[in-house]
Amino acid sequence: MTTAELLARMLADAGVRRVFGIPSGPVLPLIEALRKSPVEFVLTASETSAGFMAATVGQLTGIPGVCASTLGPGATNLATGVGAAWLDRAPLIAITCNVATPWLRRRVQMRIDHDALFAPISKASYSLRAKDAGAALAKALTLACAEPPGPVHLDLPEDVAQAEAAAGSSKPKKSPPYAAASAPSLLASILERARRPLVVTGLSFCRAREPRALLGFIERQKIPFISTLHAKGFLPESHPLWAGVLGRARRSDVQALVRRADLIVAVGFDPIEINYEEWAERIPLLHLSTETAETSPSLSFALNAAGDLDGMIAALGEIPATPNDWSAEELKKHRDELERKLRPGGGFAAHHVIDALRKKLPADGILAYDVGAHTHQIATQWRTDAPKTCLATNGWSSMGYGMPAAYAAKLVHSERVVVGVIGDGCFQMTAGELALARRLGLRVPIVVLNDGWLGLMKIKQEKRGYGLSGVELGAPVDSPPHYFGVPCRPARNESEFAAALEWALALDGPSVVEAFIDVAPYSETVFD
């Protein structure tokens, strides 16, 4: 057995089903080993997309997603996708296939220091050698899943991949147990002093084993709750105590509610999404997560605790009901005004597209979306009661995520409806991945919101009083009949979009729906 074959076998044993990447000479031994194993090598249009797809698989399954590239430019391309796993907390194994061992310290074609490249965006980096490659992969699989999860980089020289594997076997170890949870009596003493407590959930909450257990505490105490972008759906957004999404469209309305709170009960909040200083200054904070939060003079922590998140949620559930000053009428008025302001007047806009999609997608349907002005709109406007059905990048926030994420989600959940929503700028970055969807026959409509602008940057320039520069993509033109053999259909109003969406969902393969929308309504929702 070669080292590459050992790695392929170990990945299969760990539950890995796909490795995403692009071939080159140094990658071929690994691809050949994968061909002989249960693990499929999935050809992407770019290494960046391979990283995004691996990160999405890690988020959805809890099993490390795996991506592979060649050295030098392949590795630098891969790094952008791996960064999503680093800041969005997804387990991932990134394999860079390198020149033969004798050349590793030479200045030769394409070679750079891969360890230095991945050091800032990975939990660890291991240079593989035949004698201990299996042990290194076992360590990497364990570390990638350990709290907080993230990417681990493996550098695989070509001669090591082809060498005979060392005898013996290694298996990933289970992550160490969490620290003890906070005592119910301590939490109760903090809560009973508050008149307007507010629950906020975030990225770490998505890794709770039983997130819905928190709903019992919320309902018993009658406390409103909001979430970050990543935590959408882990508590039901149809609930009458749901009150919005932090830091996204109509943020001023959500922030007005936050300012009325006299205690923030932050459960699984990760400041990687939005710093406490940006929204919770001077409000007492009860921080319960797997990691303590960084402190600053403007923050007031009633408790800053790290440990077993499910144990902390259970401890909250033991607190007797404590009266507060929130009223059902107050919260309903807040929600009604939020819904109205998310849908300003004007022509065919993103909010029309989102409403049409919500009507068509089933409750367990998955929406994957990219970075831009539409990110803010979707985060607040989209409603879901199901976890892991609204996929985006927030900690990393890289354009180009949406289309690869949608396709990765369909590979993981082939039986479910998956739709991708991306801006026209993002589409230009990742249009080549349509060839992947056609080749694999993925039934995923990609909705392109074409407004002719980098809309988010346009709004930011306007807010700062700058002239518009470097943000215009050009006047929209008629859609072609297909991209890379993937059929495309345009929509210029609500009825055309509804018909196009019906058409796309009925197809047996991928599609593109190009929605020509008005950019102006974003100015009333994104930063207000």
Q: pLDDT by residue for the chain (528 residues), tens digit each?
A: 999 999 999 999 999 999 999 999 999 999 999 999 999 999 999 999 999 999 999 999 999 999 999 999 999 999 999 999 999 999 999 999 998 887 677 677 678 899 999 999 999 999 999 999 999 999 999 999 999 999 999 999 999 999 999 876 678 887 766 677 788 899 999 999 999 999 999 999 999 999 999 999 999 999 999 999 999 999 999 999 999 999 999 999 999 999 999 999 999 999 999 999 999 999 999 999 999 999 999 999 999 999 999 999 999 999 999 999 999 999 999 999 999 999 998 899 999 999 999 999 999 999 999 999 999 999 999 999 999 999 999 999 999 999 999 999 999 999 999 999 999 999 999 999 999 999 999 999 999 999 988 888 888 898 899 999 998 888 777 788 899 999 999 999 999 999 999 999 999 999 999 999 999 899 899 877
CB atoms within 10 A of CB 355: 15
Helix (H, G, I), strand (E, B) or coil at 359: helix
Order the strands of the 263-267 sheet from edge to edge: 242-245, 225-227, 197-201, 263-267, 284-289, 300-306
Tokens of 260: 């009325």
Tell how strand 225-227 and strand 151-157 pair up: unpaired
Give the tens place of pLDDT for each residue, 442-462: 999 999 999 988 888 888 898
Distance, CA of 159 to CA of 143 (rounded, Å): 26
Tokens of 261: 């709170």
Closest CA to 118 of 93, 145, 139: 93
Q: Classify 3-162 by CATH class.
A: alpha beta
Q: Classify 342-525 by CATH class.
A: alpha beta
Tokens of 10: 């170990």
CB-count burial class (<10 Å; 0-12, 13-18, 19+) for 345: exposed
> pTM value?
0.96
**Range(s) of the chain covered by CATH 3.40.50.970:** 3-162, 342-525
Give the tens place of pLDDT for each residue, 168-183: 667 888 776 667 778 8
Q: Classify 184-329 by CATH class.
A: alpha beta
